[in-house]
Amino acid sequence: MQHSRSRYLTRSALAGVAAGALVLAAACSSGGDSGGDSDTFTWWDPYPQHEEGSEWAERVAACGEEAGVTIERTATDTTALTNQALLAAQEGTSPDIILADNPAVSTLAETGMLSTVDELGLDVSGVDENLLAAGVLDGETYGIPIGANTLAIYYNADILEAAGVDPASVTDWASLTDALAKVTDNGDKGITFAATGTEEGSFQFLPWFWGAGADLTQLDSPEAEAALGLWKGWLDEGYAPNSVITNSQNTTWEEFLTGEFAFAVNGTWQVNSAAEAGFGTGVIQLPGQNGGVAPAPTGGEFILAPVQTDTDRYDTSRQIVECMTTPEGFVETATTFAYYVPPTVEGQDALLEAEPELQPWVDAVRAAKGRTSDNLGTDYPVISEALWTAIQNALSGSASPADALAQAQADAAAATE
């Protein structure tokens, strides 16, 4: 499929929960006070690139106007926002509304600083369960995802055609590996991805990990070993370059844009760039080991309402949240940010009616999974670090996949006891 979009913005989808945030979490209290001004509601989000007067800022202001109040918006980068939210809760100065990266929701919720959707009277029955799960901790739901992005595989249509590879034939690990053999035998490069020793490395590995049936509570399972063995095998065969060991998602994309690679694992946020590439591009789903679509991790923010001392503010907070999360509101977010897929079927269908070429990304989001799902909560950052360390050790050759993952499991278990 050749993309023809022109207004998409390029932005990395990924930001992990800061270690400093976890330290602050233990000290947080559960009360907040936005200053007592009933006509002004405070709003924090992680979009400093959308300045005052931008389409996003105007939309936030409009939701405040609809609720009969003025919104005072503060924009900070993702990691700083999480730290500031925890500090504000400790000091009793939480804002009325926060948009937080989905892995941070459980960190904030664990401190007791967030209201549940039930306490606010919000209906989340229409939100896709796989997306909502990132906001669930110990059976309680905190906030609503405003949209989601995730990973899939971009392909260079010219390279595949030259090698006689039909992208529709790639349906499992074996068929993908066969395709890589064909394109490399034809003189082109195979696949590039990000295996760097950061959260981005874990983020890109998880579709293969989950696609093999592995679970983050058991990093050294045979399924996990199969996934890491797949990546290691691709490097050993020359199907993937050694640069993946240090690649970020941005450098991976730069490699793909050279036109030398048949495939690249990357996200919704690169759709505009793919449309402007000097070669034909398309998208296929990340395959599970034995077929089907592998769950990929979700990126994207939740809209949250911190606990307030003045509980009379909750009704207005609810109205603001509802304004942002109507079907029309979800589509507007998708349009504003361009790489977000609405978290409801109704919103997704409305988006596809206007943008049918986004179908592969809607399919990917429908199959996606939150990184802190399965009630991992604040254990996830520790598990993720152990996992990306294992990836580094295995791909660099300093340990076998089995040994690297055994050490990762031991480290994760010790850190989460």
pLDDT of residue 328: 87
Going by pLDDT thresholds of 50, 70 and 90, the confidence category of residue 28 is: very low
Reply yes or no on whether the pLDDT at 416 is more than 70.
Answer: yes
pLDDT of residue 32: 54
| Domains of the chain, residue spans | 20-148+300-361, 151-296+376-416
Structure tokens at 322: 């509802």
pLDDT of residue 13: 33
Domain 151-296+376-416 has CATH 3.40.190.10: yes
Same fold, 20-148+300-361 and 151-296+376-416: yes
**Considering only 17-31, 88-102, 343-357, which range has the smallest mean pLDDT?**
17-31
pLDDT of residue 77: 87
Q: Indicate the SS3 state at residue 145.
A: strand
**Considering only 1-5, 190-194, 219-223, which range has the smallest mean pLDDT?**
1-5
* Residue % of the chain over a pLDDT of 70: 91
Concatenated DSSP letters for 68-120? TSEEEEEE--HHHHHHHHHHHHHHT---SEEEEEGGGHHHHHHTT-B--HHHH
Homologous superfamily (CATH) of 20-148+300-361 is Periplasmic binding protein-like II (3.40.190.10)
pLDDT of residue 36: 53
* Rounded average pLDDT over 335-353: 89
Q: Are 300 and 146 in contact (CB under 8 A)?
A: yes
Q: Indicate the SS3 state at residue 222.
A: helix
pLDDT of residue 317: 96
pLDDT of residue 6: 29
* Rounded average pLDDT over 143-171: 97
**Considering only 21-30, 167-176, 288-297, 351-360, which range has the smallest mean pLDDT?**
21-30
The interaxial angle of helices 380-396 and 222-237, nearest 10 deg, is 40
12-31 core/surface letters (b: 16 or more CB in 10 A; e: else):
ebbbbbbeebbebbeebeeb
pLDDT of residue 272: 86
Of residues 415, 355, 14, the one with CA closest to residue 202: 14
The predicted model scores a pTM of: 0.85
Reply yes or no on whether the pLDDT at 360 is more than 70.
Answer: yes
pLDDT of residue 3: 30
* Rounded average pLDDT over 79-94: 93
SS (H, E, C) 176-209: HHHHHHHHHHCCCEEEECCCCCCHHHHHHHHHHH
Question: What is the number of other CB atoms lying within 10 angstroms of the CB of residue 79?
Answer: 18
* Rounded average pLDDT over 227-249: 97
Q: How far is Cα 25 from Cα 112, in angstroms, rounded to an integer? A: 10
* Rounded average pLDDT over 60-79: 94
Of residues 131, 191, 130, the one with CA closest to residue 160: 191
Q: 416, exposed or middle or buried, with CB in 10 Å at 0-12, 13-18, 19+?
A: middle
Q: How far is Cα 390 from Cα 245, in angstroms, rounded to an integer? A: 12
Structure tokens at 9: 């913005």
Q: How many H helices and E strands in the chain?
A: 18, 11
pLDDT of residue 144: 96
pLDDT of residue 339: 73
Taking only Cα atoms into account, the Rg of the chain, rounded to an integer number of angstroms, comes to 21
Instruction: State pLDDT tens for residues 104-137.
Output: 999 999 999 999 999 999 999 999 999 999 999 9
pLDDT of residue 164: 98
* Rounded average pLDDT over 287-306: 96
Reply yes or no on whether the pLDDT at 377 is more than 90.
Answer: no
Structure tokens at 31: 């009360």
* Residue % of the chain over a pLDDT of 90: 82
* Mean pLDDT, rounded, of the chain: 90
